[in-house]
Amino acid sequence: MRKVDSLLLESQRMNPVSLTSIHRRIVARNGIRLSTGHVIPHDTSIGFLHPFAPFSTPPPTLASFPAAQKQPPLTDFYPFRFSEQRDAPGEEGLHQFTQTGRENINFGHGPDACPGRWFASAELKAIMVELIMRYDFALGPNGEGETQSGSLLTSGAPLKRPQSIVMPGSLQYMPNPGAAVYFKDRKQGVGPRNLHQ
């Protein structure tokens, strides 16, 4: 389950619920003065960018920054990124889907962290087990993938995952809802079938 946990965390890293996390509004009447001298005015909304999101540059002061430098770039989906980081001595209990902190703020952090994240983790792992055990799935009817326009790729062309999108007028960042995913039920012999049909 360590690799499934890593896959979920990598999926969440590539597609965080929002472009920013830990949203707050400044309620202090005089705002908040930072150590740099800057003042964040009263009634300003703020959020924090996930440090390992594919569209960010992590600060080198983070503990897992050296390990991340030895792995594929953050713009690439690499499902075992975090299980490999957990293989390092002293890191066995870190880099988990439900863990919060400076390196993973998708579930918030501290007293306001999501209390249901362990249930969400167990539920997602159960769904993943069912998908893997029951279905063959791909981005094309025969696993050949699709271009962004939806036409099938030619033989030998690189398979690319559909680009995520930012919902207009929001900070929500999500997988492209127009992308087709095909499932074939191994037990029933049904498929290939587009989920959108």
Predicted confidence band of residue 78 (pLDDT cuts 50, 70, 90): confident
Where in the sequence is the domain holding 38, given as residue range(s)?
2-132
Same structural domain, 144 and 124: no
pLDDT of residue 196: 46
Q: Does pLDDT of 104 surpass 60? A: yes
pLDDT mean over 47-66: 81
Do residues 108 and 197 share a domain? no
Provide the number of structural domains found in the chain: 2
Please give the residue that has the higher pLDDT: either 88 or 193. Answer: 88
| Per-residue model confidence (pLDDT) at position 118 | 95
Q: Are residues 127 and 161 both part of a single domain?
A: no
pLDDT exceeds 50 at position 154: no
**HSE-up (13 A, CA, CB side) for residue 50:** 25
Tell me if 47 sits within 8 A of 26, measured CB to CB. no
7 & 77 share domain:
yes
pTM of the model: 0.75
How much is the mean pLDDT over the chain? 80
Instruction: State yes or no: pLDDT of 42 exceeds 60.
Output: yes
Residues 97 and 45 in one domain: yes
Shared domain for 63 and 115, answered yes or no, is yes
Among 86, 113, 132, identify where a domain stops. Answer: 132
Q: How far apart are CA 92 and CA 178, in angstroms?
A: 38
Judge if 59 and 121 occupy the same domain: yes
Domain identity same for 144 and 80:
no
